[in-house]
A and B are shown apart, each in its own frame.
Chain A
């Protein structure tokens, strides 16, 4: 069964600094999709970034980038130049393919210190 593990329940970062959130997953598949979602206090889940496993290049979205290590089954999220609005719960997620369910990690609560 697919599992997604986020080993950091809480993280904090100073405003304008960089922080990395960790995620590992378990799968026997070779092609799949990985995601980071952000859940602010409003509770609406917002897509931050996604990565297709067949792509070797790490995905980047503005200040957000990932370090995808397929062999190690690791998918970390780096947030550069952290802003107060980045404070939220961050969930790592795995999906085998469209139509299959998402598997979510337990989340990392990120605090941004002014």
Chain B
């Protein structure tokens, strides 16, 4: 099976812009979660989607949003980018009822 695929892998944006990151889960996995990783804050949970519904949400401002499509692919969007949004954004998928999540390679976002 193909693993979790994230696109784009690297991107540079300017403050105030918005960005959309994409994640294709492992085939058959319907749960997709997103994490932000920074040197200062470590790995922080953003949100989780299951069958197109947001099931859990972390403590991030409303500028961070996401969605999931019927094919389980997910996107996350960050609007009005700030310098502090520079991070590695990791997507992970999980099978139904599974207790383990499997990560993609991440999307590196740099805000200048």
Q: Verify B103–A98 contact, CB threshold 8 A.
A: no
Q: Which residue from chain B places its CB closest to the CB of A95 in the assembled complex?
A: B99
CB contacts (< 8 Å) of B48 on chain A: these are 99, 101
If the complex has contacts A98-B97, A99-B56, are A91 and B43 also in contact, measured as CB distance less than 8 A?
A: yes
Bound-state Cα–Cα, A33 to B105, Å = 23
The answer to whether A100 has its CB under 8 Å from any CB of chain B is: yes
Q: Verify A44–B103 contact, CB threshold 8 A.
A: yes
If the complex has contacts A101-B33, A101-B48, are A45 and B42 also in contact, measured as CB distance less than 8 A?
A: no
Of the candidates B55, B97, B101, B104, the one whose C-beta lies within 8 Å of that of A102 is B101
Not counting A99-B31, A100-B56, a sample of 5 additional A-B residue pairs whose C-beta atoms are within 8 angstroms of each other reads A33-B99, A98-B97, A99-B48, A101-B56, A105-B42
The residues of B with any CB-CB pair to A shorter than 8 Å are 31, 33, 35, 42-43, 45, 48, 50, 55-56, 58, 88, 90, 92, 94, 97-106
